[in-house]
Amino acid sequence: MSRFFRYLLRGLLLVAVQVYLLNKVPHLHRLVVPSLYFVFVLWLPFSLSRPALLLIAFLLGISVDYFTLTPGLHAAACVLIAYVRPYLITLLMPRDTQDFQYPEPSVRAMQWAPYALYLLVLTFLHHFYLTFLQWLSVGSFWSFLGKTFLGTLISLLLIFTADLLFPRQQSYRTNTA
């Protein structure tokens, strides 16, 4: 139960940081839109089933949407990365879920290179889909490209900073326990 509350707290905190900090500070440039909240989906435990992952991602996205008054936008992007996530993990670390020694994706659980690639691919997908949906209703092609790539860069920077600043305590899993 304490694990559930830890994740709930992390989710609430990330949504609050996204809505009241990252969306409020003046952006460096109008194309550089930082977003961090979706890292919640990336840091969910390996052991979650795929439908649960999709539903949690949808709830996360829609809660951000209600604050930013854009219902459906972030939810769609979150559901997409939640759908791709298991396939990517299998691709990067071909082993059974039972064999993971750490509960959730991190540098220690996956090694540097696969973890960085994992973050890069999902962050890019999230931004690509998000700006694509915005571009459908308004905007030029160049602002779409700029927002996707610059947003991915600044978000990756934020995720790595968060990873270094707040090390997630993870117990090593053994068979004896």
Partner 1 sequence: MRNVFLFIRRYHTFFLFLLLQIVSWWFLASFNRFHQARFLTTAQEITGSINRRYDRVEDFFQLRAENQRVHQLNDSLLNLLPANDLVIDRQQYFRQEGATDSTKRLRRYVYRPATVIYNSIQEEKNYFQLDRGSDQGIRENMAVLNADGSAVGVIVLVSPNFSQGMSLLHVQQRVNATLKKTGEFGTLEWDGAHPDRLLLKGIPKGVFLKIGDTVLTSSYSFNFPPGKLLGRVSSLSTDKSTNFHIIEVQPAANFRNLQQVFVVENLQMDEQVSLNREARKRIEDPKNRRP
Instruction: Name the site residues for partner 1 (rule: CB under 8 A).
Output: 20, 23, 26-27, 30, 33, 50-51, 54-55, 58, 61-62, 65-73, 75-76, 79-80, 83, 133-134, 137-139
Q: Judged by CB, which is closer to partner 1: 73, or 159?
A: 73
Query: Which stretches of 18-166 are assigned E, i.e. beta strand?
Result: none
> Residue 114 is encoded by which pair of tokens?
């696969």
CB of 39 to partner 1, least distance (A): 20
What 3-state class would DSSP assign to 114? helix
CB of 35 to partner 1, least distance (A): 11
Distance (Å) of CA 29 to CA 32, 148, 150: 5, 13, 10
CB of 11 to partner 1, least distance (A): 15
Distance (Å) of CA 140 to CA 77, 123, 135, 136, 143: 20, 22, 7, 10, 5
Q: Judged by CB, which is closer to partner 1: 39, or 79?
A: 79
CB of 54 to partner 1, least distance (A): 5
Give the Cα separation of 35 and 161 in Å (integer). 13
Q: Is the Cα dihedral 156, 29, 65, 1 positive or negative?
A: positive
CB of 115 to partner 1, least distance (A): 24
Q: Judged by CB, which is closer to partner 1: 137, or 169?
A: 137
- The single-letter DSSP state of residue 21 is I
Q: Judged by CB, which is closer to partner 1: 62, or 92?
A: 62
Give the Cα separation of 128 and 13 in Å (integer). 24
Q: Judged by CB, which is closer to partner 1: 139, or 167?
A: 139
